[in-house]
Amino acid sequence: MLFTNHYLPMKPPLFLFACVFSLSFAPAVFAGEGKEIEAKQVEPLAESWQFDLGTPIWLAGVEGQTGVHGAVVDVDVAPSTTLKYLNFTTSFCAEAHKGPLGFATDFLYLDDRAGVSTPGLVSRLDLRLDEYLTDAEVKWRIIQRPWGWIDVRAGCRYTNLYSRLGLNPNEQAIEAASVQLTNATAAQVQQLLYNDLQGVLDGKDPVLPIPPLGAEEKQKLLEAILAAKNDPELAAALQSGVQARIDQAKANVQARINAILTQGLSTVFSLTEQWFDPYIGLACRYNFYKAFYFTAKADAGGFGVGSRFTWQGYGALGCQITRRVYAEAGYRYLYVDYRHAGFVFDAETKGAQITVGVAF
């Protein structure tokens, strides 16, 4: 393994699975209430295509771990933080049914950007996270009754994560540090450099769920600065004992260290990870009094094709506002354990979801 802190897989809250499976026993609950209910227990399936189009708004936060090349950080980003740094988002869901056959897709795009001021050699961090999340599935209705329905589902989820870290150097701090580093020993150089950049480049407590993309930059800067200090001209000047020659050699080393820090701390790091996760699951709807209903779905997948494991659960109360317009308010949970080429994303995305849609 490339990391030391392993984030334990999330255990799925069983209430969503219970909601889906328990509805399959709903007919048995009413079985003893007489022939009147038995006479209308089967509701005809649609003989022509029916469509649903909706716009879900997912107020989600992220909790778990993410990392790259052995540097792993804990992530705990609240939904309010996601909204605070939201630059753009769009989403839609669509379904088509004919008889027992159905197709469904769900699309989400999120663009979050944050600027974080930092002390020391780096004055500011520019963070960006772009996420594409798309589900496509086929469904088959196994139960259709007046109280609702149950579908089995099989599909594939596409995930695309783009993470970006931009560094902005602090010119005044770099000028002062260049003088200090020129006169420091190798051990002192490492201590001074790491103390200044440790929390900045290691991505501790990130405001966006991106990996610590700049974690390796400290070592690169250290090696470059030590190489600049190992200057034959400086060594010769020190051996000569001529102060003017020593001052000139130190000024040259200081200028090189200044350039190394300025260039290294003006860097932009980026990473794109994308994968496909096949999944299987169930979906259901239970009709309450008049226009109100409960709907739920749950699926599990990954199976090592993309992520090691992923599962999703959704439950909501709905209202058929008019014959064609509906609204739902519920909760959505998505867990993903994905690892590839040193990249780790082992986290849960969860939060309230509100959907408004139209059926025709």
Asked if 347 and 63 touch (Cβ cutoff 8 Å), the reply is: yes
Task: Tell me if 306 is assigned to some domain.
Answer: no
**Calculated CA dihedral for residues 300, 301, 303, 304, nearest 10 degrees:** -130
pLDDT in tens, the chain (360 residues): 333 333 334 444 444 444 444 444 444 333 444 333 333 344 567 679 999 999 999 999 999 999 999 999 999 999 999 999 999 999 999 999 999 999 999 999 999 999 999 999 999 999 999 999 999 999 999 999 999 999 999 999 999 999 999 999 999 999 999 999 999 999 999 999 999 998 889 888 899 999 999 999 999 999 999 999 999 999 998 899 899 999 999 999 999 999 999 999 999 999 999 999 999 999 999 999 889 999 999 999 999 999 999 999 999 999 999 999 999 999 999 999 999 999 999 999 999 999 999 999
Does some domain include residue 208?
yes
The β-bridge partners of 24 are none
Tell me how crowded residue 208 is: count the other CB atoms within 10 A of its CB.
21
User: In b/e form, how buried is each residue of 81-107, taking b as 16+ CB within 10 angstroms?
Assistant: bbeebeeeeebebebebeebebbbebb
- Which residue bears the tokens 């605070």? 84
Q: What is the pTM of this model?
A: 0.85
Look up the domain containing 203 and give its range.
Answer: 169-264
Q: Is residue 37 part of a domain?
A: no
The answer to whether residue 116 sits within a structural domain is: no
The total number of structural domains that make up the chain: 1
